[in-house]
Amino acid sequence: MSVSAEPADALVIFMPSGRRGRFARGTPVLEAARKLGVYVESVCGGRGICGRCQVLPSYGHFAKHAITSAAGHLTPANEVEFRYRKKRALPADRRLSCQARIEGDLVIDVPTDTTTIGQVVRKRAEARDIVRDCAVHLHYVELPPPEMERTLGDLDRLSAHLLSTHGVELVDYDPSVLATAQSALIAGDYKATVAVHSDLRRPAVIGIWPGYREQAFGIACDIGSTTIACHLVDLMSGRTVASVGASNPQIRFGEDLMSRVSYVMMNNDGRHALTAAVREAVNALVQRVAGQGGIAAEDILEATFVGNPIMHHLFLGIDPTPLGQAPFALAVSGALALRAVDIGLALHPGARVYMLPCIAGHVGADAAAVALAEANMGADATLVVDVGTNAEILLGNKHRLLAASSPTGPAFEGAQISCGQRAAPGAIERVRIDPITLEPRVRVIGSDLWSDEDGFAEETTAFGITGVCGSGIIEAVGEMFLAGIIRSDGTIDGTLEARSSRIVQDGRTFSYQLWRKPHALSITQADVRAIQLAKGALYAGARLLMERLGIERVDRIKLAGAFGSHIDPKYAMIIGLIPDCDVSCVTAVGNAAGTGARMALLNRGHRREVEALVSRIEKIETALEPRFQTLFVHAMGFPNSTDAFPELSRAVQLPARAAAPGNDGGPRRRPRTRG
């Protein structure tokens, strides 16, 4: 929704939705959110009583948005907020949006923990049989009490007992254990449970508890640029006990990876702010997943982490700016073994962290985890695509395995789309358009009914129809193409205005009204262009790998990631997001990165496997390949300007390719670059 205002008005951008508008100075932040359709809960009607309308202002220069958000651009905290702080906890960096008023350009984050209608984070743990060979082992010991005649220290006697009884040689002791071990032994009358961590390095005692203990837990965490997923795993049984997810709070610093790199470059404390944000989010998820599992965070003894290179570096506190330009140099690419406390994680004091290796400058540990989980390939050419703001692509067979990434941007997450939003109740996720009448019917998250079925209006009253999420955008564009509303070059056919009132002139171009009440949700020409740029980049990356492997078609396609699991493979192919393939051979494999992280958590052999796998993967840097630009231009068409789709044509009647007459809605742009 656009808000008309004078140029002197302040620009306000709400994250993570990315919705923006200009507002007169003095406008309450809550009012601005409501006018833009941003969900900010307020139970008390803006009187500063309920505290539900908390927002988090972000300060600094945001190059992508070309604005500077400063503390002085909000009115100072008033008496109502001071009174609220006396009664209830309100983090120092948050404001009540009903009281804070706009005085200048602002970037405002809406924390997910304040909303009851939150984003649906779809990174669940996939079922997978994993042979258990953990790095953490529990050993029950019974030591004789100390004697005056024997001068050995208690820990020395413990070391000797571990060797003689359990075969554990030459143990070290974590610094946290040195301070508490003797008191734990005494408390248990020298009967205790000892946690020993052993993975390549010399074994280390990382925890001691009085008496007998039979439970040990670990977490596997996938730090995505958009969402973070955390899985709690029982290390003794291998069972995934609980899984939680949340939006990555770094979104307020930039929707895509290069925007975050730019933020670091242009703000002195940028790296610290981004690192602190992601670590706080991970610790919050740890508390949530531990609560769901009925344990304390201190019961977690080990963690594995995956993420793309920029998320990997920022989580570790490493400056990511060298990744913003050629040669895209990683500070560290190999696997890392760390103490959790050294990177600010609130787990057991002796907990250990294993970071999976990165593959290349823009192909990270998440892609390595996907390769571990899904790249057990045979003779068939298999394409594995993890669809996200930076898509990771793997292609290979039993002889060769290639990897690349493509800068798809956040369009598939709902950003850069006029009516786009993240997956949440009320978001349109399925679309069908009648090719004769051009009338749509939709299905939304939160209801199993289609909009033309009885009971749909009643079922959706609680949350309304608020926007279109990624899977809905793909289906909307795909259906518009099949119905002839979009030509093969991506332009919306304005001549259909006479045939349907849903085709609306929008300046020099046209848009399609997908939904009308209570607010109009339209797919604009700019929206279609955003999807073309995103899908073109991913397809070009996949096609580049196919050429490098020397094949014309792939035999199987696996769609990984939370988003990949919720898009219809047929529509992904209709818009040209993925190459032509037998539709029945395109499958969703779920959160493969999270699966790979759990495999590494539960089995030390899988750690050696992924380290060896990464060493033999052939890395292709799309940004440095001249051929990529040509492939990208061809991939802008629907489904593609040059490549045939015979397999898709057997399943769907595709419109004939035709050049678009008249205005094309704007100049063709180059794909997003990383430098």
CATH no. for residue 61? 3.10.20.30
Neighbour count for residue 199 (Cβ, 10 Å): 17
Under the phi-then-psi rule, with left for phi > 0, alpha for psi from -120 to 50, and beta for the rest, what region is 77? beta
**561 and 469 together in one domain:** no
Of 50, 82, 114, which residue constitutes the final position of a domain? 114
Residue 24 identity (one-letter amino acid): A
**Residue at 468 is within a domain:** yes
Nearest to residue 259, comparing CAs of 407, 94, 108, 71?
407
In this structure, are 518 and 539 located in the same domain?
no
Both 539 and 647 in one domain: the answer is yes
Q: Are 358 and 366 in contact (CB under 8 A)?
A: no
In terms of domains, do 450 and 476 share one? Answer: yes
pTM of the model: 0.79
Cα distance between residue 562 and residue 387, in whole Å = 8
Residue with tokens 């254990």: 177
Separation between Cα atoms, residue 246 and residue 288, nearest integer Å: 10
Q: Are 213 and 138 in contact (CB under 8 A)?
A: yes
Last residue of a domain, one of 499, 523, 547: 523
Helix (H, G, I), strand (E, B) or coil at 415: coil
547 and 509, same structural domain? no
Q: Which residues of the chain fall below pLDDT 70?
A: 1-7, 42-45, 112-128, 375, 377, 410, 413-415, 562, 657-675
Do 548 and 404 belong together in one domain?
Answer: yes
d(C-alpha 404, C-alpha 410), whole Å: 18
Angle subtended by helix axes 309-316 and 270-293, to nearest 10: 90
**551 lies in the same domain as 495:** no
Question: Which H or E element spans position 527?
Answer: helix 525-549
pLDDT of 464: 85
- Indicate the SS3 state at residue 630: helix
- Residues 433 and 571 occupy one common structural domain: no
Out of 497, 523, 549, pick the residue that ends a domain.
523
The verdict on residue 494 lying in a domain is yes
- Residue 241's pLDDT is 95
Residues 554, 516 within the same domain: no
Does residue 447 sit within a domain?
yes
Q: How far apart are CA 267 and CA 271, in angstroms?
A: 8
Containing structural domain, residue 55: 10-114
Please check whether residue 54 lies inside any domain of the structure: yes
Strands (E) located in 87-171: 95-96, 106-109, 136-142
Q: Residues 289-326, buried b or exposed e (16+ Cβ, 10 A)?
A: bbeebebebebbbbbbbbbbbbbbbbbbbbebebbbee
Give the span between the Cα atoms of 496 and 509, in whole angstroms: 12
What CA–CA distance (Å, rounded) separates 376 from 613?
A: 10
Within a domain: residue 346?
no
Give the separation between CA 479 and CA 291, rounded to whole angstroms. Answer: 43
One domain for residues 539 and 402: yes
241 occurs within a structural domain: no
> 216 in a domain, yes or no?
no
- How far apart CA 394 and CA 406 sit, in angstroms, is 11
Residues 48, 107: one domain? yes
State residue 125's pLDDT score.
54
pLDDT of residue 387: 82
- Tell me if 306 is assigned to some domain: no
| 3-state SS class at 449 | coil
Provide the pLDDT for residue 1. 46
**Could you tell me if 432 and 504 lie in one domain?**
yes
Sign of CA dihedral 202, 206, 207, 213: negative
The structural domain count of the chain equals 3
